[in-house]
Structure 1
Amino acid sequence: MTMPSPHSHQQRRQLYRRKQQAIRSRPPAPKLLQRRLFLIWGIFVVGLLALAVRVFYLQIIDYDKLGAIAQSQHQITLRPYIPRRTIVDREGNILALDRISHTLYAHPVGFRLPQELVDNLPEAIAPTDLPKAVAHYLAPILGDVSPADLETTLRRQKSGILLRASLDATKVSAIRQLRIDGLELVERYGRFYPQGDATAEITGYVQKDDHLGRAGIELAQESLIQREPISLSLRRNGNGAILPGNLQAEAMKYDDWELELSLDLPLQKAARQALQKQMAAYKAKRGVVIVMDAQSGELLSLVTEPNYDPNNYAQVQPENYGVFKNWAVTDLYEPGSTFKPINVALALDAGVITPNTSVNDPGSIQVGPHRMKNYNGAGNGVIDVAGILRVSSNVGMIQLMQNLSRDDYYDRLQSLRLTKPTGIDLPGEVTGTLKSREKFTASPVEAAVNSFGQGLTVTPIKLVQLHGAIANGGTLVEPHLVRGLFNSQGEPQTVTPKAEIPNSAQQLAATTTASENPQIFSPAVARTVLDMMETVVDDGSGEKSKIAGYRIGGKTGTAQKARNGQYIPGAYITSFVSIFPIDNPRYVVFAAADEPTEPNSFGGTVAAPVVHDVLQALIVREKIPPTGPTVVPEDSTETSP
């Protein structure tokens, strides 16, 4: 067998290469070349068209969207915190303001004491027991917690323990001087009430987390107190840092307006002190004092007890949440004998009685199936209208009001707007109750009990409004606290109220017309009733409100409380309402104590002394001169309430 020569194999490979080179070097056919050129050109044109479409889409169709994205990458919008407006009383005393406060957090996992504190630890505390060591130094600064209780709190978790929501500057400074790692002071704006509990029932409070009003003026006048928010648009660089120089100086400016109230702070404090004194003496459940200017409706004082500190509202226990409402406007009660002057005015205005009308009071009277009597069951013989008020005769009042037909009496009660709100600029006002016309006129019983102030209900502020009509000549004025917004020069300002905020001062002002201040009885009738009420203080159950040298009118009330349609044995609201001064009537002063439990608890013994003290403070505050002798004669005697 013959083997192939290696030279012949090599020759075949060389021959193959020469053939391939010849093929590659052969010029292409003209048609093939043309197709290739068209293909390349087509690809190029399609690419240009796609690019053009994309540019058109980006520049025209998607311009706004892409511009917004680019803008957002280079701009940031901030909404800085804007402080709420300050609330002041009629003399500019601050009742509520925003200020920087400090919240204290503890992070036990990071506790570390400086060496000087370690060296000064008592022997009973090991330096390694950090929660106990921190509690030892921190508790005396906080002041309202023991080291043991604070230590328990610090052992609760490793981090994020809220110790205090708000600390004053003195405590903040003392905590910083400790230089303890793991204690964190967070600075933030907070609402502060410098008067503490002196005005809480009026101002209410602002909740710390959302900084919105939750009670009182803070809630009802949110649209006046909350300034308009500010939005800042700032540019930033590629790293996200805000570029300097693009924030104008006036961008963070806001108005200097304050919300001024008609409240007289010193009078408010005096009224609270007088009320607390009598509540403690007679062990009353709660109490209220109201001072209103009967000509304008301005409230100079509105006190409710018990009360709370709005700076520490979170410390109020659930069973005491009732303190957050102002029961002078939110709770109804039967006014009792304090309603008798109103009924007398209605009868006088109807012309069915005169000041000289007399009735015989044997001590009790039969009305339908019921025998009704005076509070003590005793008779008073033949007495005139002033005498009926002076001795607070239920039997006498029943006979006076029987001169009115039941329908006419009902119409006149309705004219008092008992079932309509007074319009006071506080939240939560409820309206009084009056039996239906059908029930009222069906039997003589309802008219009889209404004649001495039972069977119907009002709020304390409504009763004050009604007596204001006696003081001012027969007109119902709107009780209110808000005087308005004023700038630092004392110039009044206005804002557009938000419809969703209840009881806005502007809303009330916009809807107040002459028709909403109705004349419920004539000036002559009002004057006549005033003179009768003066005898109650001079010679009747209101003697404990008497002040030498001053003419005072008033009416006591001791009304039995009802629940679920039944009167509660032994449960009474004692009250006294006063109009002052009689010769130039301007102020209505009302005081009530709910469920006093001590013996001899009546309107004349419990509430009248409160009004006496408030009137004395009012005389000083308003510089009211006496109109008679200021020394009580030695032979003067007191009438039992």
Structure 2
Amino acid sequence: MAINKNWPLVFASPPKVTEAEETAEILAGVLNLNKNFISEKLQKDTLYSPIKKKLTEEEVTALENLNLAGIYLNFEQGRYYPQESLASQVIGFLGATGKGQYGLEEYYDETLVDSGKGSDLALTLDYNIQFTAEKLLREAKESLDIESGQIIVMEPNSGKILALANFPNFNPNQYTEYATAGFLEIFQNGVTQKLFEPGSIFKPITFAIALEEGKITPQTTYIDEGVVKIGGWSIYNYDLKVWGEKTMTEVLEKSINTGAVFVERKLPHKVFLDYLTRFGIFEPTGID
């Protein structure tokens, strides 16, 4: 997901630059940078003035062919993310100063700084499951026009996270483009860093409690009228659907909101709260 790589960079040694104005103009065209920005670099009172890092192969070739006086190529080690946007919010990125930003890069920054000594980080993510989860979110964007979404896949027995997908995501190799555009929110992991109501994913928990308490069976029926009143508020089903008579299995399969209310109302509040506590709902997840 993340490896170290030697990246080409170009720097100037200002005392050795013979034609500063012409050199700045040429470099601006080759590197797609502002000419004034480069001129400032060429006028610095130093022997080493970095101009651009992480050059493309085309930029390196062009600079080698130009062979401009006082302009040199070098390499520096930096992070590279070969899977690009895959699990980007989980991974985070290494910033320009070499410090981890967001995700695991930030959380394990001190450990990864010493990665050259063998302190690599192995993840529980399954590549194929993660890829599929992100593909499903992209398809949801196309079919449902979602603004954002998350998918979590966990191994029940161990708690290992096999997939933690976010939409939209980003390419950490190009994080500066998002930062420059002011799109910083995309770096956050919606699963671990944002607050949201659990919504329909809470229905299986409610049903599990009611089943355990013997308040319902999979065959228990409920007649849906499309709306239910709670404290003066009207709760509707998705897309204002009215389903009629359905079993509890069907209520869960169709994610019928009014049916979930029907089930919860069969449970004393204290019993419901006690189960949620025992499920660990109010405890920190312990995720990195």
Q: Could you state the TM-score of these two structures normalised by the residue count of structure 2?
A: 0.81
Tell me how far 1:347 sits from its aligned partner.
0.8
Query: Quick check: 1:106–1:154 contact (8 Å CA) kept in 2?
Result: no
Distance 2:10 2:176 in 1: 16
Whether contact under 8 Å (2:151, 2:165) holds in the other structure is yes
Match of 1:202 among 83, 87, 90: 90
Secondary structure of the structure 2 residue equivalent to 1:102:
strand
Q: What per-residue deviation string (whole Å, max 9, x for no partner) do you get for residues 236-288 of structure 1?
A: xxxxxxxxxxxxxxxxxx64453222223344344434433432454432233
2:17 to 84, 91, 111: 111
Shift of the alpha carbon at 1:323?
1.7
Which structure 1 residue ranges, 4+ long, deviate > 6 Å from structure 2? Answer: none
Q: Which residue of 2 aligns with 1:329?
A: 192
Say which SS state the counterpart of residue 121 (structure 2) adopts: strand
Match of 2:127 among 265, 270, 283: 265
1:293 aligns with 2:180: no
Please say if residues 41 and 51 of structure 2, whose CA atoms lie closer than 8 Å, have aligned partners that are also in contact. Answer: no
* 1:598-613 superposed matches below 5 A: none
CA contact (8 A) 2:111 2:119 kept: no
2:102 equivalent to 1:215: yes
Please tell me whether the aligned partners of residues 89 and 103 of structure 2 are also in contact (alpha carbons under 8 angstroms): yes
Alpha-carbon shift at residue 352 of structure 1 (Å): 2.3
Superposed displacement of residue 378, structure 1? 5.2
Distance verdict in 2 for CA 1:366–1:421, change over 3 Å: same
Are residues 1:408 and 2:242 paired? Answer: no
Query: What's the CA shift for 1:333?
Result: 1.8
Aligned-residue CA RMSD (Å): 3.2
What corresponds to 2:72 in structure 1? 184
Question: Do the aligned partners of residues 266 and 400 (structure 1) sit closer, same or farther apart at CA in structure 2, a change above 3 Å counting?
Answer: closer
CA displacement 1:90-145 (0-9 Å, x = unmatched): xxxxx2222333332346674348xxxxxxxxxxxxx9844334445xx1xx4xx2
Contact 1:102 1:172 in 2 (8 A): yes
Q: 1:216 to 1:105 in 2, by over 3 A?
A: same
> What is the letter of the counterpart of residue 131 of structure 1?
A
1:225 maps to 2:112:
yes
Q: 2:2 aligns with which of 68, 90, 96?
A: 96
- What is the distance in 2 between the residues matched to 1:376 and 1:287? 19
Q: Which moved more, 1:367-376 or 1:285-294?
A: 367-376
Amino acid at match of 1:290: I
Cα deviation code 1:386-434 (max 9, x no counterpart): 1322343333322222221122222222222222221112xxxxxxxxx
- Asked if 1:284 corresponds to 2:146, the answer is yes
CA shift in 2, pair 1:128/1:406, >3 Å:
closer
Q: Does 1:132 align with 2:25?
A: yes
Q: CA deviation at 1:379?
A: 4.2
**2:202 maps to what in 1?**
339
Which amino acid is 1:179 matched to? N
Aligned residues: 283
Deviation at 1:322, TM superposition (A): 0.9
Structure 1 gap ranges (5+) = 1-94, 114-126, 229-253, 426-641
Distance (Å, rounded) in 1 between the aligned partners of 2:134 and 2:173: 19
Q: Percent identity?
A: 27
Counterpart of 1:165 in structure 2 is 53
Conserved in 2, the CA contact under 8 Å of 1:366 and 1:372? Answer: yes
- 2:35 is the counterpart of 1:151: yes
Could you tell me which of 212, 215, 220 is aligned with 1:352? Answer: 215
Q: Which residue number corresponds to residue 167 of structure 2?
A: 305
Residues 195 and 395 (structure 1), Cα distance of their counterparts in 2 relative to 1, 3 Å cut: closer
